[in-house]
Amino acid sequence: MKLEYHYFKAHLLKAETLLQFVSLRELYQYTEFNNLNTILLLLNEQAETTDFAILQHNAIMKHATEGYKTLEDFAAADLNLFTDATLFYEAKELGYKKYDDYKLVKETGISNKIIYDKIKQQGFIQGYEEYVKLIAINENLPIINTVISNAFQLYEYVTKNGFEKYNDFEEAFLKGFTDKPTYSVATEFGFINNADYQLALKLGFRTSLELTLAQKHKARDHEDYVRMHELMDVGDKKNSNDEKLLMVLLSKIEQGKRISLNKLYDLYLKTINEYNYKDTLALPEWFTKQFDNKENFVAFLKKDSLRPYGDYDEDGEFFQINKMQDREVILDASNVAHNNKGGVQSKPTVSNMLKMVAFLKGHGFTKISVLADASLQYKLADVDKLKELEKQVDYRTSPAETSADNFIINYVKSKHCLLVSNDTFKDWKNLDPWVANNIDFYRLSFMIKDNEVLMPDLKL
């Protein structure tokens, strides 16, 4: 428990024993140790206090006040590292108790204590010391082309770049980021450091996952990665990329057409050349091949894996492309169910989907699937007919809160099947080059009016 001092003014006239403490701190500590709380304020001829003194055992022990008004003030100044009374009282008048705080205020010219307190609360006083240590020991941190020689300058720089607290800035800074917007975007897309994020931007990648997969499979940029990823979804894992490329080529040849072996092989060579890098004229490292010669190409044409696209006639040396009705077809459930009747908007119905299924079956289609949003069943005007539809076709729903469009597009990508939908997938075309270049080829538009289904793209 600290002493409560009592002060009495006095003139020193004569003393048998007069002791001078070597420092004001020694005097203060002596009073604390001996529990002495009566302090004499020795005055000069002008009635000015010159010394603190104590009387004990007929001896006067004293030390100059050094400008302090009380021993409590000296103790507070000493505790908070003030070097003299002038600085202590000036800081006290400004509202600062610690010398480091006062020093920072004087160095930076901060006159508003509210601003200073905010800087301190947000961690920049202690943070500046951490910042100095970081840049001293870590050569890989970002270069900041701004002079930062105190906590206030650090505060100005950090807040200008979108951070509120020093700790948030330090976390980003150690990962190579200096501004909050960039750090937030990079973090959102899975990047753990700025180096990877900048590399991704340079190569055209949007997410860390895309960059990681591209590096794993040696795709050199985003365009290369997209082409690689498109072929990944074709066929199965055992198929090489040139085999998958042939499958895509066959899926785009006019339905029911007969194409000679030589022409098909020329089309294949032209298509595979489109995968060559323009600068090196070489195929990407990720591109796997089985067709070293035309004989291997012909051998693959005979395999059952190409039956969904057609049949190879070995004697006639031609490939017969399947008719449209021999292909798998999927229905965009929401789009078909919402189909307008005579231009008048109506509630979605199962009846529309049943009419479409009946139309397709009547024109020779046998493999029909329906892909729907999970929420569609709650909007149907005739939901009681849904079981009837499920008996006739493979009816699938996307997970809750997930659009069926994503599953529809990926299914068409991998199966190269036909899609019944009036949706042009405009938004998807802006995001996915494959959709922009291919979806309309597989899409069959339609119109349902009363009990009649019209499909101009269907070739009988």
pLDDT digits (tens, 9 = 90+) for 210-220: 999 999 999 99
What is the rounded CA–CA span in Å between residue 39 and residue 71?
Answer: 9
The DSSP secondary-structure symbol of 106 reads H
Per-residue tokens: 201:
């931007």
Encode pLDDT of 119-177 as tens digits: 888 999 889 989 999 999 988 899 999 999 888 889 999 999 999 999 999 999 999 99
**pLDDT at residue 256 in the model:** 84
Q: How many CB atoms lie within 10 A of CB 304?
A: 7
User: Sorting pLDDT into bands at 50, 70 and 90, what band is 16?
Assistant: confident
- Residue 460 pLDDT class (50, 70, 90 cuts): low
By the 8 A CB rule, do 59 and 26 touch? no
Distance CA 423, CA 29 (A): 87
Q: For the residues 386-395, what does the mean pLDDT come to?
A: 92
What's phi and psi for 284, nearest 5 deg?
Answer: -60, 155
Q: Which of 185, 178, 138 is nearest to 162 (CA)?
A: 178
Residue 227, pLDDT > 60, answer yes
The arithmetic mean of pLDDT across residues 42-56, rounded, is 94
CA distance 160 to 364: 67
What is the DSSP secondary structure assignment for residue 254, as one 8-state letter?
Answer: P
CB neighbour list of residue 398: distance below 8 Å, 6 or more residues apart: 371, 372, 373, 374, 404, 406, 407
Contact (CB, 8 A) for 216 and 230 = no
Average pLDDT over residues 295-318: 91
Q: What is the DSSP string of 378-447?
A: GT-TTGGGHHHHHHHSEEEEPPTTS-HHHHHHHHHHHH--EEE-----HHHHHH-HHHHHHHHHHEE--E
For residues 117-131, b (16+ Cβ closer than 10 Å) or e, as one string? eebbebbbbebbeeb
Region 276-285: mean pLDDT is 94
Pair of tokens at residue 2: 């600290």
Residue 105 scores a pLDDT above 80? no
DSSP per-residue codes, 80-100: TT-SSHHHHHHHHHHT--SHH
Alpha carbon distance 24, 39 (integer Å): 13
For residue 343, what pLDDT is reported?
Answer: 45
Contact 445, 422 (CB under 8 A): yes
Looking at the chain, how many residues does it have? Answer: 460
Structure tokens at 123: 């961690």
What's the pLDDT score for residue 296?
94
pLDDT, position 340:
58
pLDDT in tens, 398-426: 887 778 888 899 888 888 889 999 999 99
Distance of alpha carbon 153 from alpha carbon 144, whole angstroms:
12
**Mean pLDDT to the nearest integer, 355-361:** 93
Q: Hey, what are 154's tokens?
A: 């650090």
Residue 116: CB atoms within 10 Å: 24
Out of 52-66, 84-98, 334-348, 446-460, the most confident range is 52-66
Question: What mean pLDDT is predicted for residues 48-54?
Answer: 95
d(CA 435, CA 73): 77
Mean pLDDT for the stretch of residues 374-403? 88
In the numeric block, which tokens belong to residue 374? 């999970």
The pLDDT of residue 341 is above 70: no
Alpha helices by DSSP H, 233-323: 241-252, 261-273, 294-301
Q: Find where tokens 């005055």 sit.
A: 43
Direct distance between the N- and C-terminal alpha carbons of the chain, in angstroms, rounded to an integer:
102
In one-letter notation, the amino acid at residue 354 is L
Mean pLDDT of the chain: 90
- Distance separating alpha carbons of residues 460 and 448, to the nearest angstrom: 19
H or E stretch covering 210: helix 208-217
Provide φ and ψ at 363, rounded to 5°.
-105, 20
What is the reported pLDDT for 342?
46
Whether CATH 3.40.50.2020 fits 326-454: no
How much is the pLDDT for 323? 86
With helix as H, strand as E and coil as C, how does 128-152 read? HHHHHHHHHHCCCCCCCCCCCCCHH
Cα distance between residue 194 and residue 38, in whole Å: 65
Domain boundaries, the chain: 6-79, 118-188, 194-225, 240-322, 326-454
Residue 154 CA neighbour count, 13 Å, CB half: 25
**pLDDT for residue 55:** 92
- 71-85, 260-274, 293-307, 329-343: which has the minimum mean pLDDT? 329-343
Answer whether residue 394 shows pLDDT above 70.
yes
